[in-house]
Chains A and B, each alone.
Chain A
C-alpha cells in the first residue's frame, strides 16, 4: 500500500521493516521508527479525536510531549491503556489504537452538538450549572458528566506488567540530549564525572535531528550521533533514551520514568514495562529545550493546524508531509525553516509573516528558493470542519489592531510558529525563581535554589554556537568541582544561519462581524472568550483564572497554551506579563502511569510478610491465616467443613476444658539490660517496678505523655540487670522507638540498653486446665507445681536439649504458660508440645479463639487500647501508682480524665442471648430517637462466649461504672441491626481470676 504523504528516502525510519497497525478498526502500514502520529499522517489521517468540551474534531498539533490533541486509547498484548499521546507512542507490529471522547465514532460524534451549544458552555460552566438542586448532583449530574467527560478508559483487569524502581546516585544528571545536553555531558564525562544523560524521545539529539546546521564539519545529526556513541562507551556515563525526567524534588532528587517496553508489541520476558528511577544528583543540568508556541487565530483548532516545528519534525525524522499545500503562519524565522524544508522536497508553501520587513540569512534563503512570502499578513481563521480546506487571511496594520481585506486561499495545513517557550518546568519545580525575559516574551530560570543549571533553549538561548560554548564550559566546570579533573575538550566549529528578531505578536484580532472561537488551550477547549469572561467575573490571580477556566489543566499541562493565556490576561488587565506571573509548575511534567509509580509494591509485595518459625506446621495443619499487621497468623485450624465460627469455638472450648497451644511469636519482645533497667521500667510503666524480684514477671501498662494508654504487656526480670519486655504485636516498633526516645534524649543518664528480640524468640502459649501436665511432660526435671512455678513466675528449662524460657502468664484467663526458645528451634518446640500434649487432648488454637478467650475474661487488647482510652477506661486504674511519677502521669489529672461519669469498659449481652452484636455498634438509650441519636458508647470487641454459649461483647460506655444492669440498644446502621442488650461486668468469666492462679 502506498503512503500518499511519505517521501522517498527522507527521514530516520527503517524502511526495511514495515509494520501493520490498526486505528479505529482500520488497518494501516507504517515503518519501524515511526510514531503512531507519523504513521497516521503518512496515511493522510488527520482526524484522531474529539475535543473535551465541544467535541470538535481534533488532529495533530505537535510531534512530542507537548501534544494536546492526539490522545488515544492503546491496545497492546490483550491490555488497554488510556491517555496515550499518539505523538509519543512508537509504532510496533500489531498496534491497535482508538479515538477517545467520541461516541459513536470519531467521524460522527453526538457530543459535537455541544459545539453548537457553546454559548451555553462558557467558563465556569460546571460550577454555575450543576449547583442546584443539590440532590441532583449524585443522581443525575455526576453520572452524566462522568459519561460525557474523560479522555479514555482505564482497564479494570489486573495489570500483569511489571514495573521496577531503581535508586541511583550521580555527579551530573542531564535532562535532555539536544546540543546543550550532549556537549555538557561530554565535557563532564571527560572529567571522569559519573553522568546520567536522559532523553525522553527514542532518538538522541533533540533539535539537532531537524535543524539545518553544521558542527565540526558534519551535520548536527551526525555530530550528535558521534557524541552519543562515544558517551555510550564510557564506563562513567549512563545514557538513557525513552526516559522522561518528570519531577524535581527536594535535595536534588529527580524522578525519571523509563519506558522499557512501550515500543514493543509485548514486554520481553524478565523485563519491566517501565522503570522508575529515583536519582540523587550532585548537580543537575537542565537542557530540556523549548516548545514552539502557537499564534492564536479563528478556528485554530481545526485538524491540519499544527506547530511549524512539528511539521518540520514529521518531514525530517519520519519523511512525512503533513500537507501538500502548506500555509506557514509565523512571527519569526522558525516558520521559514519549515517552509524551506517543504520547498526542498518539492512542495510549494506560502509564508505569512506578521512582521513588516524582516531580514536575515534564513529569510534570504527562502527568498532565493522562490518561496511565496507575504509580509504583514496573518491567518484570520482556518476554514474546514474535519480538516483544513482553506484559510481566511488578511494584511495587518503595524499596531496589529486593524485587519485588511479578507482573502481566502486554499491550503491543506497551516503550520504556525509564534516563537519559542523554554521548558522551565524542572527548574521551576526545584524552586528556581523564574524571571520574564522580554526579548523572547517568555519566562526563563532565574536564581537557582538547588544545585541546578539550565542551559541552551531551556534557558532562552537560541543560538547554537552560544549554547555549545556555555554547555561545554558548564559541564567542564561543574564536573571539575566534583572530580577535581580538568580535561580540556575542544569546542567544534559551528555553522548556523543567523535569525532576526521575532514579532511580539501572538493573537489575531477578530474581524468585524465574526465570532470565531480562538483557542488558547486545545485540550481543554479554553478560548480567548473564556478568559475574558473569567476576568469580567472578577478572577484576578492567574491561579484562579486557571482553575475557573481550566486553562493549562489538562494532561499536557498547558505546554502550548500557558504563555498565550498569560499574554491575554496581562493585556486585559493592562499589566505586564511578569506582574501576572505564571502558575506553579508541579510534577509530573507529563502523565506517568500509576503502575510505574507503584512499582513492585502490588499484591503480596505491597508489604513484607512476616511468618513465625512454625508457619510451615500451621500450613500443613490447615490453618486459615489472617493478617496481623505484616504478620501472618493462624486464625483457626480448619477441621473438615468447619467454618470460622465453628472452628474457633471448638478451639476456645478445648482451652477451657483441656489444653490448647497458640503461636505467640508475633508478640513484640524487647531485651532490656543495664544497671538502670528497673528505673527505666518504673518511669515507663504506670505501676511500680523497683521491687520486682528476679524470676518474676509483672503486667504493665504504659502511657503516652498525654495520658492515653500506649501499650500493655508483661516484663520479666531474667537476672539482676536483665529484663525481657513483651509488647502487643501491633505496637512493637513504636514501643521500641518510645524507649529509645527517652533513653537517648530525655534521660541519657540512665545506663540501659534496649534491643528488639522479637525475631530471636519463638513463643508458644500453652493454656487450659491441663497445661501444667503438658509442661511437666516437656520439662520432666522441673518443679512446675503451683509452688515451684507460681502465677507470674519465671524459670528456665531444658526442652529436650533446647534452652527454653518458661513464663507463667496468661492472656486466656486459664492456667497458662508461655514457652520461648530461640527461633530456629521454634518448630521443634511446637512439635514436642503437640507430641506430649496428645494424651491431654491438646489442640492448636488461632487468633479467633484467642480473642474469644480474652474477651469473655474482660482482658483488654488493641480494640480497647485504641489510642483514645486512659487506664480507668480499661479498668486498669489499679495499676496506676499514686506514689511515683511516670510518663503521662501528669495528664491523668486533666478534668475530663477524672470526671465521675467517665467512659469505662463493660460487658454487653444481647437480651435474646442469640444475636451477635457487630463490633463498632453504638450503644444508645432509645433505639427510635431522632437522629443523630446520642451515643453512649461503642462495642469494641465481640465473641461467642464458650463458657456460657451465648454472644458476649466488650464495650467502652459512658459512666460504665454505674451502668451495670442497664438495658440499652446496640445499633449498627451498617449491618442494619438494632439489638436490645443488657450491660454486665466486663469480667464475664472467672471474675475473681482464680483459674490463672490454680
Chain B
C-alpha cells in the first residue's frame, strides 16, 4: 500500500485516496473548435508510461483535494506531490 504525502494533510495511506489518471492531460478550452484527433487524444489516448509519471489522485477520505503525484509506475517510488494549482517543474 502506497504512502502518499497529501500537500494539505501530510503522509496518508493509499486507502484514503482515489486514483485519477494522467495529470498532464489538459482539457481543451470550452467553445473551441478542435479536430477529432485532438479530442480523441484528450478523451482516450494515454501513454501508459513505464517510469516517472505525473498523475492525479484525490484525497477522497481526507481533505477531498485533487493533488498531483509524481510516481514511478514500475517501482511505485513517489518523488514529489503537488497541490492542484501548483506548477510542476
Contacts and interface: CB of A to CB of B under 8 A. Distances in A.
A249 B13 CA distance: 12
A463 interface: no
A740 interface: yes
B84 A705 contact: no
A520 to B, nearest CB: 33
B85 interface: yes
Contacts, number: 55
A885 B43 contact: no
A745 B56 contact: yes
Given A167-B13, A252-B3, A253-B1, 16 more contacts: A251-B1, A251-B3, A251-B78, A253-B13, A705-B27, A706-B44, A740-B58, A741-B20, A741-B66, A744-B85, A745-B56, A745-B84, A885-B30, A885-B31, A890-B28, A893-B36
B49 interface: no
A842 B44 CA distance: 51
A737 B18 contact: yes
A706 B76 CA distance: 29
Given A737-B60, A744-B65, A890-B34, A250 B2 contact: yes
Contacts of A740: 58, 64, 66
Query: What are the 7 tightest A-B residue pairs by CB atom distance, in nearest-first order?
Result: A251-B3, A885-B30, A744-B84, A885-B31, A250-B76, A744-B66, A890-B39
Interface in B47-89: 56, 58, 60, 64-66, 75-76, 78, 84-85
Interface string A427-449: 00001000000000000000001
A449 B75 contact: yes
Interface string B1-28: 1110000000001000010100000011
A868 to B, nearest CB: 16
Interface residues of B, number: 27
Contacts of B30: 683, 885-886
Interface residues of A, number: 26
B84 A251 contact: no
Contacts of A706: 43-44
Most buried by A among B36, B43, B75: B43
A278 interface: yes
Given A250-B76, A278-B1, A891 B43 contact: yes
B27 A746 contact: yes
Interface string A723-748: 00000000000000100110011101
Contacts of B18: 737
Given A740-B58, A890-B39, A280 B66 contact: no
Contacts of B31: 884-885
A250 B42 CA distance: 31
B63 to A, nearest CB: 11
A648 B54 CA distance: 52
Nearest to B31: A885
Contacts of B34: 890
Contact of B85 (A280, A748, A893): A748
A607 to B, nearest CB: 14
18 contacts: A167-B13, A250-B2, A250-B3, A251-B1, A251-B2, A251-B3, A251-B78, A253-B13, A683-B30, A706-B43, A706-B44, A737-B58, A741-B58, A741-B66, A748-B84, A886-B30, A890-B34, A890-B39
Contacts of A431: 75
A751 to B, nearest CB: 14
Contacts of A683: 30
A199 B42 CA distance: 52
Contacts of B76: 250-251
